[in-house]
Chains A and B, each alone.
Chain A
Amino acid sequence: MSSEINLTLQVWRQPGPQAEGRFVTYEASGISTDASFLEMLDIVNERLIENGEEPIVFESDCREGICGTCGLMINGQAHGPQKSTATCQLHMRSFKDGDHIVIEPWRATSFPVLRDLAVDRRAMDAIIASGGYISVNTGAAPDANLTPVPKETADTAFDAAACIGCGACVAACPNSAAQLFTAAKVQHLNLLPQGQAQRWARTEAMVETMEEFFGSCTNHGECEEACPKDIPIDFIAWTNRDYIKAKVKNRKLAG
């Protein structure tokens, strides 16, 4: 049953990276409960444009929870109150008529605000660029099932590969640690046979790039709760283990 609700939004407005930001209050009236959170912002923006005001800048792309572009801190929770849901998949039926909603960008020193609710997440790209790939020559396409992978291993690797790189783990972390993101990106390759050739080089490089930009994990578990893909913090433990192994093995390999 669709119905309409009226909301009060408190939105972070910031004209540019260096500019001073502040909260601005908007009335969002007559919002359908079938609208997604981003559609609600679209409606608010259309009204702002009609009134000749600057629309609220926010990022989005696929709007089906698989691209990782959207991401807002909604009432102090990354991606809002619904578990395992990205902002675009959060619907206004999660809110009640008359609700007051605080909307902020992701916050971390390495996620500088570009404008309003959009942040620069290139620090995460740097982690991927330092080793989040397989680049050994593999020859022509192999036959199917030539490399056997146990079902459990494949499933676990896929759980890690579900990471969409949205940055909610960093946003939710009181230390702004990117441990869950890095661990997911390390482990989805480290768990599989194809990832073994570069396993130790990858683990060392990615963890150390992460440490340049983000804080240190204190095992609160906030990232796991915020993750729209439900990636468990077990991957963090396995990456910690792989990292120390890598420090030993890489030294031997280096002579």
Chain B
Amino acid sequence: MAQTVSRVSTPPPVRSEPRVRLPWPLSIYQTAVGKKWVMGLTGAALLGFIVVHMIGNLHLYEGPLEIHEYAETLRDLGTKIIPRTWLLWAMRFGLIAAFGLHIHSAYSLSRMSMAADQRYPGGRNYIAANFASRTMRWTGPIIGLYLFYHLADLTWGWFNPDFVRGDPYHNVSESLGSIPVAILYIVANVALAVHIFHGTWSMFQSLGVNSPRYNHLRRYLAGGLAGIILVGNLSFPIFVQAGVIDDNGRSIVEELQQHEAAEGEEN
């Protein structure tokens, strides 16, 4: 530059330079705005998953065989080109990576903000911040813990003595049939919807998607998505408790598989 400006004397910086400068483009992740970009992008990916997951789960209302068939279809994705379950696993690894980055960026940015912020002993009035935006650092960990329980319960079957691999209808009706578990699912999904309400709107700001003509739609989109996900996801514990999803402890898929195995022996 034509003119040099000497550095202003300032209070000591709150944030020090990273010890190792990563090569481009990883260096972008070492900046706060870059981390917000990653948080927004991974949030969008996770949001996409949550919407698809909720819609897919609606197959529960069709019946045990239909949801089983849907689960098998997911494993069969891409089988015409690559071996079975590879595409599903690729998507799973993508989600795990997105989840890890989402948590790491949230953690390090929170640390940075906590270092920069000072309390007001006289109290602070919030005017624009809403419940959702102020509880992001609470709803996030709640969702994380719930996700672990959810996988352990319905994917790995750790907490369910009657767990039958490959029969989602049976596992869901057994698990969510217990009142404490149903309450846990309801609480966690309310936290998820609250997180999504602020996250969806916030994502547009962080990614710089801002056009005065369409800005008013961002709140509607956030509210709409949070609402749809809330209604869809809460319907499962509620309808299991109401007895709409109930196989009376019989795993139809298991019986079918045993029947097929017996037929195979006969032939």
Contact = CB atoms under 8 A, between A and B. Distances in A.
Interface residues of A, number: 63
B204 interface: yes
Nearest to B123: A76
A80 B12 CA distance: 29
Given A135-B3, A174-B134, A240 B205 contact: yes
Nearest to A208: B31
Nearest to B28: A247
Interface in A217-234: 217-222, 224-226, 233-234
A129 B8 contact: yes
A106 to B, nearest CB: 9
Contact of B10 (A75, A208, A213, A240): A213
Nearest to B210: A237
* A111, A211, A222 — most chain B CB neighbours (10 Å): A211
Given A213-B13, A213-B14, A218 B136 contact: yes
B180 interface: no
Interface stretch (A35-43, A89-97, A120-128): A120-128
In terms of DSSP, what is the predominant structure of the interface of chain B? loop
Contacts of B15: 211-213
A158 B121 CA distance: 36
Contact of A77 (B36, B117, B127): B127
A10 B28 contact: no
A226 B35 CA distance: 26
B134 A220 contact: yes
Contact of A240 (B9, B11, B33, B109): B33
Contact of B8 (A102, A107, A126, A236): A126
Given A126-B8, A129-B8, A238-B210, A174 B129 contact: yes
Contacts of A222: 126-129
Contacts of A234: 210, 212, 215
Interface residues of B, number: 59
Interface string A184-212: 00000000000000100100000110011
Given A176-B113, A219-B201, A225-B128, A76 B31 contact: no
B209 interface: yes
Given A122-B11, A174-B124, A220-B128, A243 B116 contact: no
B20 interface: no
Contacts of B198: 219
B242 interface: no
A75 B125 contact: yes
A193 B128 CA distance: 34
Contacts, number: 190
Nearest to B15: A212
A221 B128 CA distance: 5
B54 interface: no
A72 B121 CA distance: 14
Given A177-B113, A219-B202, A247 B34 contact: yes
Interface string A103-144: 010011111100000001011011001100101110000000
Contacts of A175: 113, 116-117
Contact of B208 (A75, A177, A237, A247): A237
A104 B8 contact: no
Nearest to A214: B116
B115 interface: yes
A107 B202 contact: no
B118 A109 contact: yes
A243 B206 CA distance: 11
Interface in A228-254: 233-234, 236-244, 247, 251
Contacts of B109: 216, 218
Given A109-B115, A208-B31, A237-B205, A123 B129 contact: no
Contacts of A55: none
B5 interface: yes
B148 interface: no
12 contacts: A102-B123, A133-B5, A136-B2, A177-B113, A207-B31, A211-B33, A215-B112, A215-B117, A219-B133, A239-B33, A240-B37, A247-B27
Given A176-B117, A177-B113, A237-B210, 8 more contacts: A23-B122, A109-B115, A111-B11, A214-B14, A219-B201, A219-B202, A240-B36, A241-B207
Interface of A: 10, 12, 23, 73, 75-77, 102, 104, 107-112, 120, 122-123, 125-126, 129-130, 133, 135-137, 173-177, 198, 201, 207-208, 211-222, 224-226, 233-234, 236-244, 247, 251
Of all A-B residue pairs in the complex, the 5 with the closest CB atoms, nearest first, are A241-B208, A215-B113, A237-B210, A215-B116, A175-B113
